[in-house]
Amino acid sequence: MNHLQTSDYIVFLIYFVIVSGYGYWVYQRKKSVDTNSRDFFLAEGSLTWWAIGASLIASNISAEHFIGMSGSGFALGLAISSYEWMAAATLIIVAVFFIPIYLKNKIFTMPQFLSQRYNDTVATLMAIFWLLVYVFVNLTSILYLGALAVNSISGISFETCIIGLGIFSIVVTLGGMKVIGYTDVIQVLVLIMGGLVTCYLALTLVSERFGFGGDILKGLAVIKDKAPSHFHMIFEKSHPFYKDLPGLSVLVGGMWINNLNYFGCNQYITQRALGADLKTARAGLLFAAFLKMLIPLIVVIPGITMFVMHQNGMFVQEMADNGVIKPDRSYPILMNLLPNGLKGLAFAALTAAIVASLAGKANSISTIFSLDIYKKYFNKDASEKTLVRTGRVTVVVAMIIAGVVAPALRSLDQAYQFVQEYVGFISPGVLSIFLLGFFWKKSTSKAALTSAILTIPLSTVLKFLPVWTNGWFPDLPFMDRMTLVFVILVVLMIVISLLDKKGQDPAKVIAIDTKMFRVSPSFIVASTIIIGILTALYTVFW
């Protein structure tokens, strides 16, 4: 295997020194005289709009994108880009309607909102759900895919890669959200540069393969011509991957539930904006929406290019494992083809994405555990210093657990789809609780608790019902299953709320003012441009 050379390690070392040195400088320059939990977990008032947007993207884009989404690009095609392009539209909705509510009510964690709007039981139950999903699905899958990629490119053992990535991420995370936020700006620059280099190589290779002398525009034309089925955003029912992206559900169904939950009700994402003022938070989310539209160019196009080359006799052995094609090998193979030096840049980009995502996820885990579990149930009088120390210990423990569990994911072919489906077990319940909590004053704690309790069992039953009934119940795509579960839970919450004689405690109804949702002319212009671009993309690649 073509492993890293000396020049690649030099490039990577430069990246490591810059990130570590800048992170230490930020920590020393911006640290408070007194240790403050809000400052540590939220970087309250310290992040600029560009730091918020960059940090959101750096934490969101990880190995599951570079490796998993690229693998899905190999298998599914451009349609997998819907996760990114629909996310751009979702971020606009979150910026307009969700963030103002959080900031108006001084919300610092998602369980805190649930406690303030409903009760501590709902908040604690959801906090436990989030911690389990964050540690055993998100953190574990990021660490697994990251180690797999680093192992494939560098030749360093899988286990050593897990340890190394975990330690690097812990070092970044222990500095708090300010260090994460500002170092993520560098991480984003590196991952975009490295991603574009890999995309350029892929298109150059396919262009040369078909006699066009390395012209990347010709390369784009080639892959569209040679893989026309990979350039449709909306699948028909007859499509072999319809279950992964079920037709119009991408535009009007489950994709919205997935994205609104992820970007609007997710500590991991919203945490970056919760410490800012409304104008800064909105600008940061809008910047993230623009960056989101670039991601398919960085990760999906290389996957499609690898598919075309594989179909024409290239990398046949490299893409297979005991005769079985492994789509998730697409990106590591491409990176191994980069010339020395540039390969180090691409390797640094991948590592940046992994570390930033691990650090962001670990910080969210420590925030929820420290503020919503530890302080509430174990040490109500905990000092600010104690909370910060607890958060740091939580980071280390969570990373160790993820490192132990990560090797169990080796059997997956498309890890990105695995993450989306199983996070989707909790998404309908979370979104129903938040939306009704936001916009319907009569929504009660009993209704929210019912939704929280039923979301996973109901999702599980609908997933396995086709097997239990020998096909009598249709085998629904997971996005359609999310939609069905969401509708059921919303109806249940409405019915239970209306039948609840006690009703909702008036003190629990959060403050909402229509003026909160007003946006500036510049925001309207920018969001209109984003929606226009998305409309054009879906029209062209329908």
**Structure token pair of residue 335:** 């990176």
Asked if residues 415 and 140 have their Cβ atoms less than 8 Å apart, the reply is no
DSSP state at residue 64? I
Residue 267 CA, chain-centre distance (Å), reads 11
pLDDT for residue 436: 92
pLDDT for residue 44: 55
What is the model's pTM?
0.85
CA distance 96 to 119: 26
Q: Residue 88 to residues 296, 354, 508, 541: CA-CA distances in angstroms?
A: 12, 21, 32, 17
pLDDT in tens for each of the 542 residues of the chain?
456 788 888 888 887 788 777 777 776 765 554 555 555 555 555 678 888 888 788 777 776 677 778 888 888 889 888 889 999 999 999 999 999 988 888 888 888 888 888 888 888 888 888 888 888 888 888 888 788 778 877 778 888 988 988 888 887 777 666 666 666 777 777 778 777 888 888 888 888 888 877 788 888 888 989 988 899 888 888 888 888 888 888 888 888 998 898 888 887 777 777 777 889 889 999 999 998 998 888 889 988 999 998 888 888 888 877 777 888 788 878 877 778 777 787 777 777 778 877 887 888 888 888 888 888 888 888 787 888 888 889 889 999 998 888 887 776 555 556 666 777 788 899 999 999 988 888 889 999 999 989 998 998 888 888 777 777 788 888 888 889 999 999 999 999 999 987 776 676 667 677 788 888 899 999 999 999 999 998 898 88
3-state secondary structure of 325: strand
Residues in the chain: 542
Q: Which residues of 7-31 are buried (b: 16+ CB within 10 A; e: fewer)?
A: ebeebbeebbeebeeebeebbeebb
User: What distance separates the 2 farthest-apart alpha carbons in the chain?
Assistant: 75
pLDDT for residue 30: 57
List the one residue out of 484, 425, 48, 19 whose CA is nearest residue 273.
48
Q: Residue 269 to residues 192, 285, 351, 433: CA-CA distances in angstroms?
A: 19, 10, 20, 18
Rounded to 10 deg, the angle between the 254-264 and 82-93 helix axes is 60
